[in-house]
Amino acid sequence: MLTVDLATQIYTILKQPDCRYLTQDDFRPLLHELLASHPGLEFLQSTPEFQERYAETVIYRIFYYINRSETGRLTLRELKRGNLIAAMQHVDEEEDINKVLRYFSYEHFYVIYCKFWELDTDHDFLIDKENLIRYGNHALTYRIVDRIFSQVPRKFRSRVEGKMGYEDFVYFILSEEDKSSEPGLEYWFKCIDLDGNGVLTPNEMQFFYEEQLHRMECMTQEPVLFEDILCQIFDMIGPEVTPGFSTDVSSNEGYITLRDLKGCKLSGNVFNILFNLNKFIAFESRDPFLIRQERENPTLTEWDRFAHREYIRLSMEEDVEDASNGSGDIWDESFEAPF
């Protein structure tokens, strides 16, 4: 064992003797030990329910970012290519768990779990289409929610027909709030690629944008025509195959590949334009708050910024509720808040 590299050591220790891959269950002893020994997680020791939720969330995040083959079987090659080992070393050195932004941050878990709890109104630990359409203050279109529930971007682990489980929601929220990440781009590309041929055509993009256009008209927002949007998208991405622009969209031969999107830092905005009205409007208006955030912390991901904002908001709401009635509704059902 001492003669091999660190990644191989960790892989060999965690995996089952007769396997050539790691499963989610292989990481559970690691999380159990972390929860028992890390000073930043001591406050959870009196609430085993939350310890379990935290451990699950960390494992789902690890597999979301590192198991790029999406098989549920993490290979040694994937482990070596990812940044998990660096994050594990960071956890060992850092007493404040929230400074370990990759995978292990308690604040990030808290945001994910609270978001799920807010949507899961009957607290059966399942979410349906009508629940998800409320996400982000009704930011998403019905068409994109239909695609998510058709399980095109990812097959649900939930065993209940027409329902999304907690693991499915973790994959959704990480993709939604970090669209420019590699797994995020792949998730939404599959949604927009209606015929599954590996390219996004103007017709496919128009199908999703039509609902955005209708919503803009309903909100008395000045509508932006699809022809203008298409020009903007192609200018932004600079794909290898560009259209000969004409007013007749159906005659445009250009298309966008996943490779095109991965080669552009602004690619996440394409998906916001097509199905997230709130983020599209923020992008169009060049929200100065978001621009300032990006300049102040250029190393943070979109997910890191979102989680930070949401944690502050949720903490403030908790403080207000605690001051008014002594407890927060979010924890009233089956758990007691340890915060």
Q: What are 119-167's pLDDT values in tens digits? A: 999 999 999 999 999 999 999 999 999 999 999 999 999 999 999 999 9
Q: Is the residue at 330 inside a domain?
A: no
User: Distances from the Cα of 316 to the Cαs of 37, 287, 309, 310, in angstroms?
Assistant: 29, 23, 11, 10
Whether residue 192 is found in the same domain as residue 147: yes
Whether residue 76 is found in the same domain as residue 125: no
Whether residue 204 is found in the same domain as residue 261: yes
CA distance 177 to 49: 26
How confident is the model over 266-297, as pLDDT tens digits?
899 999 999 999 898 888 887 666 667 676 77
How confident is the model over 208-267, as pLDDT tens digits?
999 999 998 888 778 889 999 999 999 999 887 655 544 344 445 689 999 999 999 889
Residue 241 confidence (pLDDT): 65
State pTM to two decimals. Answer: 0.89
Q: Is the residue at 227 inside a domain?
A: yes
Whether residue 142 is found in the same domain as residue 282: yes
Whether residue 139 is found in the same domain as residue 284: yes
Q: Is the residue at 319 inside a domain?
A: no
Whether residue 138 is found in the same domain as residue 282: yes
Burial of 208 (0-12, 13-18, 19+ CB in 10 A): buried
Whether residue 97 is found in the same domain as residue 125: no
How confident is the model over 58-104, as pLDDT tens digits?
999 999 999 999 999 999 999 999 999 999 999 999 999 999 999 99
The alpha helices in 258-301, defined as continuous H runs, are: 258-262, 267-275, 277-284, 288-296
Q: ∠ at Cα 143 (246, 179), nearest 5°? A: 80
What token pair was written down for 134?
């409320």
Whether residue 143 is found in the same domain as residue 254: yes
Residue 177 confidence (pLDDT): 97
Q: Is the pLDDT of residue 185 over 90?
A: yes
Q: Which domain holds residue 99?
A: 6-104
Collapsing DSSP to helix, strand or coil, 93 comes out as helix
Residue 222 confidence (pLDDT): 81
Among the candidates 104, 132, 166, a domain finishes at 104
* Strands 256-257 and 199-200, sheet pairing: antiparallel
Q: Is the residue at 309 inside a domain?
A: no
Q: Is the residue at 303 inside a domain?
A: no
Q: How far is CA 76 from the centre of its chain?
A: 24
Among the candidates 46, 74, 104, a domain finishes at 104
Whether residue 272 is found in the same domain as residue 126: yes
Whether residue 287 is found in the same domain as residue 192: yes
Domains of the chain: total: 2
Q: Is the residue at 306 inside a domain?
A: no
Q: Is the residue at 109 inside a domain?
A: no
Among the candidates 104, 129, 163, a domain finishes at 104
For the ranges 106-110, 198-202, 255-259, 278-282, the lowest mean pLDDT is seen at 278-282
CATH number of the domain enclosing 39: 1.10.238.220
Whether residue 81 is found in the same domain as residue 147: no
Q: Is the residue at 34 inside a domain?
A: yes
Whether residue 141 is found in the same domain as residue 269: yes
CATH number of the domain enclosing 208: 1.10.238.10
How confident is the model over 2-37, as pLDDT tens digits?
888 999 999 999 999 999 999 999 999 999 999 999
